[in-house]
Amino acid sequence: MSFYRMHIIIPMDEEAVEHGAIEVKRELSELIEKNNLKDEVKVIETGPVGVVGKGVVMIIYPERLYYYNVKPSDVKEIFEEHIVKGRIVKRIEHDYGEKRAGKIVDYKTVGLTREQKRVVLDRCSIINTLDMEEVIAKGGYSAIEKIISEKIKPEEIIEEVKNSGLRGRGGAGFPTGLKWDFTRRTPGDEKYLICNADEGEPGTYKDRLILEGDPHKLIEAMIIGGYAVGAEKGYIYIRGEYQLSIERTQKAIDDARKFNLLGKNILESGINFDIEIKKGAGAYVCGEETALIESLEGKRGQPRKKPPYPVNKGLWEKPTAVNNVETLANIPAIIINGANWFKNLGAVNSSGTKVFTILGHVEYPGLVEVEMGTPLKDIINIYGGGVKKGKKFKAALIGGAAGVFLSEKLLNVSMDYESLKENKAVLGSGAILVMDEDTSIPEILFSILKFFAHESCGQCSPCRIGTRHLVDLIYKIKNGEGTEKDLDMMLKIVETMKETSFCPLGQSVIMPVKSALTNFKEDFIKILNKKNNEEVLNA
């Protein structure tokens, strides 16, 4: 080990790479090498930092200063001024993190660098994902260590997870401990644990951050989950487009195997568990657990009939627990700190934290982890920096395409399962799409419905026909040719789809449609019969 005076973090994801992060890192390393500063300054490549639209980000510790939009041509100046002389390059956009070393100077009161409650993302953009030593030094695999050294039984783990109140972060919010308990209790000697990393909800990229930034957390959680439910084999079903996530997670699995943290007789404890990655092929419906299982078995990705649920008959008809990436990423912290600690975070019936992706018309689009129950307006105004260019807030679409349009009236709503349910909304995947006053809700609804029509798997007619029909209707309405009758028809279709569709894809189309038509009714009424009226006027 050596001691450095400065750590320079270069978060790497597809966006950063596109903007030249690799060149920036190369340039910087060369300068450090050439000037003989290798023993003083360390350059670390980490997973993404959660800031979007800022090109290459560079974080300098111990100051915890963020440089944004760093170009390879800026590197020399940063090196000469900041790294050698300790002076900030003011020309380049920069920002201090709130939790900093030394004296507190002015920091921005808004933005994504404000301190967050990080449980799931605690190591993201702090550690070098590919460096096993850094992972372990920052508490990686310490939950496994605790389980083995304190001889904690599978039943005790399940009890702890149940008591923690952890609920599924994929959208449905089913209690995780209960799911594991069902899987464990179902008789059978062959069981499976699947991690659903087929992150397809438009506007959501929280799982990507974990997969790219801290895959070891997921692996550790899966070992614990496998041990708890009695599975010796786990699968991570990763969305095919997530190239970097797949590479990093695969590397993490290989490293874990080398350290005897995966495979037979883990750390000589008698626990066996191994993980395999399966790439998705771009179907939204495969995020639904039974369709995912079908796809994993090599069949066409279409949902199965429920019951039987996967906990009874899942992969290869064996008991299977399917958990979302973020859900699993909470497990190690629960084991280490206990159920009560977790329960004290967040809101009633919604323990813990939640990772939200903020996008759309905000100053700082990106990703934050805050406690459950944080008011929507705080997330938008404090972390997102408010509506872009000082415009007025119009709407927020919460939970992705299968989410709900909220109007200004609900800006104070607490972001947790229960409060949102009371307001006929859902937490879903945690995407918050902010729209300013100039946004046309019918246009947004049109693109959402086009998405559903494209992604409907076609297995059941209500969804296959309904989504197509909805696209035709909204197209007509947005072009000013719609009538009151068309609006009624849309509501009738989504209600029928909710009652009769086979899987959550068709059942959830009601959420964006109904909320848009009720909360933003004027937007639609305004443009009804517009074309007809204009023609009459022009005649």
Residue 173 and residue 347 in contact, taking contact as beta carbons nearer than 8 Å? no
Q: 247 vs 274, which CB is nearer to another protein?
A: 274
Binding of residue 269 to another protein (CB under 8 A): yes
Q: 88 vs 92, which CB is nearer to another protein?
A: 88
Least distance from another protein to the Cβ atom of residue 255, Å: 11
Q: What is the DSSP string of 175-224?
A: BHHHHHHHHHHS--S--EEEEEE---STT--HHHHHHHH-HHHHHHHHHH
Residues 139-168 that bind another protein (CB under 8 A): 139, 141-142, 145, 148-149
Least distance from another protein to the Cβ atom of residue 43, Å: 13
Least distance from another protein to the Cβ atom of residue 429, Å: 29
Q: 93 vs 115, which CB is nearer to another protein?
A: 115
Nearest to 369 by CA among 388, 352, 381: 352
Least distance from another protein to the Cβ atom of residue 296, Å: 30
Residues 28-67 that bind another protein (CB under 8 A): 39-40, 61-64
Least distance from another protein to the Cβ atom of residue 63, Å: 8
| Burial class for 44, CB neighbours closer than 10 Å (0-12, 13-18, 19+) | buried
CA–CA distance, 367 with 181 (Å, rounded to integer): 32
Q: 17 vs 137, which CB is nearer to another protein?
A: 137
Number of H helices, E strands in the chain: 23, 16
Binding of residue 337 to another protein (CB under 8 A): no
Residue 283 and residue 264 in contact, taking contact as beta carbons nearer than 8 Å? no
Binding of residue 454 to another protein (CB under 8 A): no
Q: 126 vs 457, which CB is nearer to another protein?
A: 126
Q: 86 vs 188, which CB is nearer to another protein?
A: 86
Binding of residue 107 to another protein (CB under 8 A): no
Binding of residue 272 to another protein (CB under 8 A): no
> How many residues are present in the chain?
539
Q: Which two tokens stand for residue 268?
A: 């000589």
Least distance from another protein to the Cβ atom of residue 327, Å: 25
Stretch that binds another protein, among 125-133, 277-285, 294-302, 506-514 (CB under 8 A): 125-133
Least distance from another protein to the Cβ atom of residue 4, Å: 7
- Give 128's contacts (C-beta < 8 A, 6+ positions apart): 44, 45, 46, 134
Least distance from another protein to the Cβ atom of residue 252, Å: 16
CA dihedral 199, 201, 204, 207 (to 10 degrees): -20
Residues 238-267 that bind another protein (CB under 8 A): 259-261, 267
Residues 74-93 that bind another protein (CB under 8 A): 84-87
What are the backbone angles phi and psi of residue 17, rounded to the nearest 5°?
-60, -40
Q: Which two tokens stand for residue 232?
A: 């010796």
Residue 331 and residue 225 in contact, taking contact as beta carbons nearer than 8 Å? yes
For 333-359, letters b (16+ CB in 10 Å) and e give bbbeeebeebbebbbeebbbbbbbbbb
Least distance from another protein to the Cβ atom of residue 5, Å: 4
Options 77, 133, 254, 488; binder of another protein; rule CB under 8 A:
133
Binding of residue 206 to another protein (CB under 8 A): no
Omega before 202 within 30 of 0, i.e. cis: no
Angle at 453 between CA 452 and CA 458, to 5 degrees: 105
Binding of residue 99 to another protein (CB under 8 A): yes
Q: 85 vs 409, which CB is nearer to another protein?
A: 85
| Burial class for 167, CB neighbours closer than 10 Å (0-12, 13-18, 19+) | buried
Residue 211 and residue 123 in contact, taking contact as beta carbons nearer than 8 Å? no
Binding of residue 1 to another protein (CB under 8 A): yes
Q: 86 vs 282, which CB is nearer to another protein?
A: 86
Binding site for another protein (CB under 8 A): 1-7, 9, 39-40, 61-64, 84-87, 99-102, 126-127, 132-134, 136-139, 141-142, 145, 148-149, 259-261, 267-269
